[in-house]
Amino acid sequence: MDLDSLVAIDVHTHVHADLHGHLALDDELNAAAAKYFKGDPYDPTVHDIAADYRDKKMAAVVFTVDAEAATGQVTLSNEEIAEAAAQHPDVLIPFGSIDPARGVAGIRAARRLVESHGVRGFKFHPSFQGFEPNDRRHYPLYAELESLGVPALFHTGQTGIGSGLPGGRGIKLRYSDPMLLDDVAADFPQLTIIMAHPSVPWQDAAIAVAQHKANVYIDLSGWSPKYFPPQLVRAANTMLKTKVLFGSDYPLLRPERWIRDFEQLEIRDEVKPLIMKENAIRALGLR
């Protein structure tokens, strides 16, 4: 990957379909998410994402979410995503996703994905997967990721998955409180943790955790920047200028829309390249 030629690195993009037409979300959840984000459903494969981001001169972190136990929807294959991404090393960075409830099998899968399939990190969605991040039953998995030297990206805050459905389809927001990650960051100081999204309604907590823990970052995906809480904009411009990362939440929020709205924020010129690319290079260990 020619990092110097890239204009940005999007650390948060979703593979919505595998190469056989299987979708990551069932029809009800897919429709609810599209309504939440005010867009048309679009289910890109890895190859679709590569073509789109190559055209934009951007790189993208790609992943699915292993929520089969919670939803019954068969999880897209981590191996297939990684192998497809390997065909596009100029623009794609593959992450895996493992439900912590998989226990020892999940731990072994994580090592295999990194060592045999080139996976560069792991995505967790505590609300969608239905777990508390600081539950010590999951600590062996975090220890494995720490030993492998790969980051863990956790969804935090509100979620568009299940939004507006009766009972939110059983998805519980409290699992995505960023303060639960403070325990993980403290107990695994060599594990890079990326807290995904503005963590509404816990934005101040996310800022505090990222400021206090050297191994914690915030990605800015999932919200148009025009809706960012003001304290997040202040922090990104000052004390967290080296700790925040560009992310879109593609395909539900496209990078061009995110960037257009980001340009309207009062972010200092010297900070913008840090957010758009340089911080991601460091957090993902790309150099």
For residues 18 and 146, the answer to whether their CB atoms sit within 8 Å is no
Q: Is this structure's pTM higher than 0.85?
A: yes
Q: What is the pLDDT of residues 255-267, one digit of tens each?
A: 999 999 999 999 9
Instruction: Output DSSP code: residue 162.
Output: T
Size of the chain in residues? 287
The angle subtended at Cα 216 by Cα 220 and Cα 85, nearest 5°, is 65
Q: What is the pLDDT of residues 56-79, one digit of tens each?
A: 999 999 999 999 988 888 999 999
